[in-house]
Amino acid sequence: MGDVLVIAEHAEGRMRSVSYEALGVASRLAQRTGGSVTAAVAGSRIESLAGSLGAYGAEKVYFVDDTGLADYSQEGYSAAIVRMVEEAAPDVVLFAASTRGKELSARVAARMGAAIASDCIDVVYEDGPVATRPMYAGKIISKVKLTGGKPHILSLRPKIFPVPEKAEGQSPELVRVDAGLDQTSIRAKVKEFLKPETEFADVTEADVVVSGGRGLKDGGNFKILEELAKILGGSVGASRAAVDAEWRDHADQVGQTGKIVNPNLYVACGISGAIQHLVGMRTAKCIVAINKDPEAPIFKVADYGVIGDLFEVVPLLKEELGRECD
């Protein structure tokens, strides 16, 4: 029986939504493999978090609860995950293609000698996992079939797959795993965690992202985008040009050298649309572009385009949206 194992990701005492998205994919794959949907989670004092995965489809949850894993370390977490994968013996292992998930999935695949497909935007099972994924900075979309020994490892792009409906009262079987962690083997340790001073959620988690580029002319002008983002209940992103000009922090950068986002709505303001930026946002459900240049490449991927000065268009948009909210 081909079980599908989801490596759940959590932060600040809560599960990240991509963990639930992955459980939805796991349920679909398990219908084809004839196996069960299982999950694995590592950390410290996480038994209740592990139990919460049952509401989203996990029938069994393996967990490593160790004080040495209170802070994330790739050495400690990868060792714990390898041990849980060995215990669960699944056919398929699903990670999030987040910053942490990409790091861990590659490390676990290397340690287990397993095949891996990263940053997948679709997965089906045809006598083995077949993954759809962007390649060459998103210039082509490829389909790859994982072969060789099991498990097959895949990482899933966040915000691409739907979150399954929550089933209250569903409790999974919990299996505590002793990873036998040797603290001396964890060479890199977290000494301090500095949280960004922002009222906005991480752009990778947001359902709406309002991004600005060189067309904003000055970092102080991002204030108008922040106001629009608040009305829309979203976050603020930036192009590399805006980040290089030190108008926004690198944590807000969307693109090939920044973050890949997949919101329901992406509003690009004063962004020309270089291929490096398009890589990071072209899979958004709806793209709105505001730019003075009618030849800007961003219009080629936009669902809706406004040719105009963002300093005129955005205030009108805020006014209209504010009227709707009232």
Closest CA to 22 of 124, 160, 207, 149: 160
Q: Kindly tell me the sign of the dihedral angle through the C-alpha atoms of 296, 302, 307, 313.
A: negative
**Are 190 and 96 spatial neighbours (Cβ–Cβ below 8 Å)?**
no
Q: Are residues 170 and 223 in the same domain?
A: no
Question: Does residue 194 lie within any of the structural domains?
Answer: no
Please indicate, yes or no, if residue 100 is contained in any of the structural domains: yes
The one-digit pLDDT tens for each residue of the chain (326 residues) are: 689 999 999 988 899 999 999 999 999 999 999 999 999 999 999 999 999 999 999 999 999 999 888 888 889 999 999 999 999 999 999 999 998 999 999 999 999 999 999 999 999 998 889 999 988 777 788 999 998 889 999 999 998 999 999 988 888 999 999 988 877 778 887 888 777 777 888 899 899 999 999 999 999 999 999 999 999 999 999 999 999 999 999 999 999 889 999 999 999 999 999 999 999 998 899 999 999 999 999 999 999 999 999 999 999 999 988 776 65
Print the domain residue range for 271: 208-325
SS3 294: coil
Contact at 8 Å (CB) between 111 and 104? no
- Does 46 map to a domain? yes
Q: Are residues 117 and 131 in contact, defined by beta-carbon separation less than 8 angstroms?
A: yes
Q: Are residues 95 and 175 in the same domain?
A: yes
C-alpha distances out from residue 6 to 43, 53, 217, 242, 312, Å:
15, 10, 44, 36, 47
Within a domain: 75? yes
Angle, CA of 35, 41 and 47, to the nearest 5°: 110
Residue 216 and residue 81 in one domain: no
Distance between CA atoms of 70 and 277, rounded to whole angstroms? 35
Q: Which of 153, 185, 217 represents a domain boundary (last residue)?
A: 185
Query: Which neighbouring-strand residues pair with 61?
Result: 39, 174
On whether the CB atoms of residues 309 and 215 are closer than 8 A, the answer is: no
| Cα–Cα distance, 57 to 8 (Å, whole number) | 12
213, 270 contact by CB (below 8 A): yes
* Residues 243 and 99 grouped into a single domain: no
Same domain, 19 and 96: yes
Q: Decide if 51 contacts 172 (C-beta within 8 A).
A: yes
Q: Looking at residue 67, which CATH number applies to its domain?
A: 3.40.50.620
Q: Are residues 21 and 155 in the same domain?
A: yes
Residue 195 counted as domain residue: no
CB 7 within 8 A of CB 94: yes
Nearest 5°: phi and psi at 68? -70, -10
Amino acid letter, 88: A
Q: Are residues 126 and 255 both part of a single domain?
A: no
Same domain, 169 and 235: no
| CATH number of the domain enclosing 240 | 3.40.50.1220
Residues 245 and 161 in one domain: no
Same domain, 45 and 102: yes
Looking at the fold, whether 123 and 240 belong to one and the same domain comes out as no
Residue 192 lies in a domain: no
Helices (H), 98-195: 99-112
Same domain, 25 and 138: yes
Quote the number of domains for the chain.
2
